[in-house]
Amino acid sequence: MIPAPFDYVRAGSVEEAVQLIGEHGDDAKFIAGGHSLLPLMKLRLAQPSVLVDIGRLRDLSYIRDGGDHVAIGALTRHMDVERSPVLAEHLPLLAHAASHVGDPQVRHRGTIGGSIAHSDPASDLPATALALGATYVAQGPRGTREIPAAQFHTGFLDSALAADEVLTEIRVPKMQGAGWSFQKFNRRAQDWAIVGVAAWRRNGDSGVALVNMGSVPVLATSVSSALAGGASVADAAEAAVAEADPQPDLNASVEYRVHLAKVLVRRALEESSRSS
C-alpha cells in the first residue's frame, strides 16, 4: 500500500499545468482530489514518475448559470455540486447524484473533473452527466476544445482527453421542469454502485444512463427510443441493457447485473414520471 517513488510539482494556472505535463512526458499525471489516482498508486496499478498537482487551481472551482446551461469548473468538489443552489434549481439530478458519491470525506476532496477524467464506469457522475447530455471543455498545448459526453469515454479508465490536456469545465444543459431519478444499488451505504441509473423525462424526451454496466458509462438510447415510440415504462425498461456490456465481478454475475439494470431503469422511469 505504498506508492512507487514519484516527483511532485504544483501548477499555479492551467497554462502552467499544461506546460509542466509537457515537460515531464508520458509518465507524468495530473492530480486533482487524489481520491481515484492515489488508491491506484498505492496498489501500484498506476506508477506515474511525476504528479502535476492541479488541486489548488481555485479559478476552476465554480458553478455558474450560463443561460441555457450550467457551467461547472472541473476542480469543483463533489460536496459543492451536492449543495449548489444553482444546480438545485436547474439540475437537481446532478446535485442528487453527487450526494451519493462515497462518504463526506471523499465528497470534500474529490472533484467532478477528476471523476469524469478518470472515466470509471462504476462512478456516479460520468453516467449522470452522460444522461444529461453534458459537454466537456479541455485545454491543452493546441488550444481549447469541446467534447460531447457521448464521445468522451473511450474505454475502461480511458477517455478522449490527451495526456497533456486539462479538463477545465463541464457544461450541462438545464433541465427545467424535467422529472428525474437516480437509482444506486449497493451492498452498504457509501459503497460504489453494483448498478446505477440516472434518468430524466420531459414531455416526449428522456435521457437514461447506466453505471457499472460495461467498460464505459452507458447511454441507454434504446430505452429513450422505446419511450418516444409510445412504449410503457415496463416495456421500455426491458430495453435497458441493449447498449450495455456488463461484466461479472465479486459483487454480481452478468445475469444479476442485467436483472438489476432492468429493475432500476423501471424504477427510475416511474419516479421520473411522477416528478415531471
Ligand X SMILES: Cc1cc2nc3c(=O)[nH]c(=O)nc-3n(C[C@H](O)[C@H](O)[C@H](O)COP(=O)(O)OP(=O)(O)OC[C@H]3O[C@@H](n4cnc5c(N)ncnc54)[C@H](O)[C@@H]3O)c2cc1C
- Site residues for ligand X per CB under 6 A: 29-37, 39, 54, 74, 101-102, 106, 110-111, 113-115, 117-118, 123-125, 161, 166-167, 192
- Burial (CB < 10 A; 0-12, 13-18, 19+), residue 256, is middle
Phi, psi of 91 (to 5 degrees): -145, 60
Strand order from edge to edge, sheet including 195-202? 179-185, 195-202, 205-211, 218-219
Cβ nearer to ligand X, comparing 101 with 223: 101
Q: In the bound complex, what is the minimum distance in angstroms from residue 267's beta carbon to ligand X?
A: 19
Q: In the bound complex, what is the minimum distance in angstroms from residue 276's beta carbon to ligand X?
A: 25
Beta-strand ranges (E) seen in the chain are 7-10, 28-31, 50-53, 63-65, 69-73, 135-140, 143-148, 153-155, 158-159, 166-173, 179-185, 195-202, 205-211, 218-219
Task: Return the residue matching grid coordinates 433541465.
Answer: 175
Q: In the bound complex, what is the minimum distance in angstroms from residue 270's beta carbon to ligand X?
A: 24
Q: In the bound complex, what is the minimum distance in angstroms from residue 138's beta carbon to ligand X?
A: 7
Contact by Cβ (8 Å): 154, 94:
no
Q: In the bound complex, what is the minimum distance in angstroms from residue 60's beta carbon to ligand X?
A: 7
Cβ nearer to ligand X, comparing 190 with 232: 190
Cβ nearer to ligand X, comparing 111 with 183: 111
Cβ nearer to ligand X, comparing 125 with 213: 125
Task: State the residue number with the nearest CB to ligand X.
Answer: 110
Cβ nearer to ligand X, comparing 161 with 244: 161
